[in-house]
Every structure is written in structure tokens, then in C-alpha cells.
Structure 1
Amino acid sequence: MSKQTLQLLNQDFTIHSLDCDDTIPTTVLNASIFFIAKTDEELSIVCPSDIKLHSFSAEKHWRALEVVGPLGFSLTGIMADISGVLANANISIFAMSTYDTDFILVKEQQIDIAIHALKKDGYMVL
């Protein structure tokens, strides 16, 4: 299987944890890119860091690598391969998926190491 191409996004992201009953702020919904996940126990919002939220916990300074898509649902192992390369380089990730593609968030201070490890493994990073 050939390696996918990854695109480093320009934004700096923050991962927020909120109460599951909190309302999603309009500023998030108006952003050009954001990710939301909700369970019975929590509401997680990933958005550009310039959007200020009142969350009870926040992890700042994440950069996103987008797997250039669209990716078909029949494709397997994409996230496993990418996360394996980064795990072998001792890099922690936060992963998200959309209908068309996948996103891998890496802490800002490790993004250069992550890109180097991915390129060394045969990925193209734009």
C-alpha cells in the first residue's frame, strides 16, 4: 500500500473538555474548522486557539496533520500506520476523523520531529 500525503494545517489548536450539558458556543460554530465529540460524560471541542472558551480543562498548542483525501471507507490501516510511526518516535497524538479524511494532532513542540519521522517512513508532508 502506498503512503498517503499529509498536509500540515496553519492553525494552532486547543483541545477543550466541557460538561456534557454545556452549549456549543457560536464562536466555535462560526470557525472555519472545528471538531466536536459528545458522550454522556463529556463534551470535547477542538478549535483554533484564538477562540477562547470557558472549559474546565484545555490542552493548548496542537498542530494538525490532515490526511489528504477523500479516503474511501474500504481503506484500512491508515490511522494505525501513521499512529504507529509516531508512537515509535515517542510522539503522542490526538486523532479525529471526518467523512472524507483523518486528522492527527501533535503537540507544537513535537511537530518537526513528527514530520521528520513520517517523511523517513515514506509519507509526503506538505
Structure 2
Amino acid sequence: MSLTLTVLPGEYAVAQLPAGSAVPDWATRGDLWCVMNAPDELSVVCPAEGVPDGVRVQRGWQALRLTGPFEFTLTGILASVLNPLRDAGVGIFALSTFNTDYVLVAASDLGRSVAALREAGHTVQE
């Protein structure tokens, strides 16, 4: 399965807030953001510059958007992207929406990620 991915501009961050936290204003700014509530935490993916000091955070992520939309019945979409990244030793953070998927990779791994994806037959637009 050959896909097209686009590297989104800007640096992203993955932050963790305590369980039961209210969604902070900074978490919902920018073009791409995601808030996930779980029993033991509130996770936030958002532009890195918006995360204030004092928040548990990992910065330095680049986002790749898979060109969709994809029907829910399709299988192997993420695997076709994640397997080459795994084989290249690249860690990921994945997000899904109704229409498509996003994969975050460390900015320091972006070149290796793009090369691995292209070698796997995908098109990557930078």
C-alpha cells in the first residue's frame, strides 16, 4: 500500500496533566492539537511553543499527516507507515481522526523517517 504523507510545519509537544485536570486554554491552540482524557491522565498534543513551564512535557516532535480520508474498513493503513519506521529504529506517537492519521516523530529522526518511508514506497511531501 503506497500512501502520501505531508510533513507539517512547526514543532509539537506531548504533555501530560494529572487525571481529572480541566483542559487548559493553551492545549487547544494551533492547527493541530489533541486532548485525550484517560482514567490516569490527561494527554495533550499541541504546538510546542504553547506549553507553559512547569508542565510535564516532551518537546521536539514533527508531525506527518497521512493523506486521507480513509474508510474505517481499510486495514493496514497505520501499519504500512509504522512498520518502516520501526525497522528504521524510529519511535512514534500516533493520532487518529475521523478522516486520517497523524504520526509524530522526533525532529532529530525526521530525515531518517522520511528516507525509510520513501524506501517503503510512500510519497513524503516536505
TM-score range, shorter chain: over 0.9
CA contact (8 A) 1:13 1:48 kept: yes
Q: Unaligned stretches of 5+ in structure 1?
A: none
Distance 1:26-1:8 versus aligned 2 partners, 3 A rule: same
Note the alpha carbon deviations across 1:17-72, whole angstroms, 9 max, x for none: 11121111123224322011111100000000110235642111000111011111
Match of 2:83 in 1: 84
The one-letter amino acid paired with 2:48 is: S
Query: Which residues of structure 2 form unaligned runs of 5+?
Result: none
Show the 5 A alignment for 1:1-126: 2-53=1-52, 56-126=55-125
Which region of structure 1 is more displaced relative to structure 2, 48-57 or 101-110?
A: 48-57
TM-score w.r.t. length of structure 1: 0.93
Cα root mean square deviation, aligned:
1.3
Q: Write the letter of the residue equivalent to 1:3.
A: S
TM score, norm. by length of structure 2: 0.93
Q: Secondary structure at the match of 2:10?
A: strand
Identity %: 30
Q: Number of paired residues?
A: 125
Aligned partners of 2:51, 2:29: CA distance in 1, in Å? Answer: 13
In the TM superposition, what is the alpha-carbon distance from 1:14 to its structure 2 partner? 0.5
